[in-house]
Amino acid sequence: MATNDDRTLAEKLLEFFNQVTGPYEIVSRIQDDPNFGEASYGITLPVASRILEARDTLPDRRFVSIKQIDDVQGVGPITLHNILFSFITNESTGTTISGLVPPNYDSGWKAIGKGATLLLRHNLGGDVDKYVVDLQFKHIGNREIHQINYGGIIFCDQYGKYHRRGGGWYGLNGKSIKVYLGEEEFGDVYMRVRIWIY
């Protein structure tokens, strides 16, 4: 592979996935970020295989955007985070650094009420297709950070009553992002949004 230090993170990542020949190469390259999520692996072998299968259906059998990789079944927020984590390099040495660079935006921990929507203004501008969004939750009195029911869930109980729990984000643009919480989420909740631009 080429080793041009002027390549962007996206270019390095896409070059790897376009040139790799087998799923085991992906598994050995993608590292787990020990400070993010609960998984003890960077990527699973089935997901690595699906990434290559998806690539081989594309024109010229090449990815042209990170979104195409993100769209592969099984590549969720944690796997995508680990992929990006594995390709963040120290500009002076070209080696992988320990941990992510600071986000371009960090909302800090904010209380969010049940059934509420928060409008967070990041004002980053630019191309939102090059944003990587991380949304985390924690409950007051519980220091564990989590993404349980990420994206929100709606279910019906035995009495025919619908319940909405969990939370997620939507409405991302160059100025703001919206975060919501289900009206029947347990306990009192804090949330935090971080955004990186690659």
Q: How far is CA 98 from CA 89, 108, 170, in A?
A: 9, 22, 30
Output the average pLDDT for the chain.
81
Average confidence (pLDDT) over 162-171: 81
Q: Is the pLDDT confidence value at 30 over 80?
A: yes
Higher pLDDT, residue 143 or 80:
80
- Which residues on neighbouring strands pair with residue 135, listed in sequence order? 193
User: Token pair of 75, please?
Assistant: 């590549």
Give the per-residue pLDDT at 100. Answer: 53
Q: CA 148 to CA 181: how far, in whole Å?
A: 12
Domain spans, the chain? 9-87, 105-197
How confident is the model over 43-66, as pLDDT tens digits?
888 999 999 999 999 999 999 988
- HSE, CB side, 13 Å, CA atoms: give it for residue 137: 25
CB atoms near residue 51 (< 10 Å): 25
Q: Which region among 56-60, 89-93, 110-114, 130-134 has the lowest average model confidence (pLDDT)?
A: 89-93
Q: Residue 135's closest CA among 79, 82, 190, 87?
A: 190
Q: Is 48:26 a contact under the CB 8 Å cutoff?
A: yes
Q: How far is CA 55 from CA 14, 24, 45, 48, in A?
A: 11, 16, 15, 11
- Strands 162-165 and 167-170 turn out to be unpaired
Residue matched to tokens 């970020």: 33
Top mean pLDDT of 11-15, 33-37, 138-142, 152-156 is at 11-15
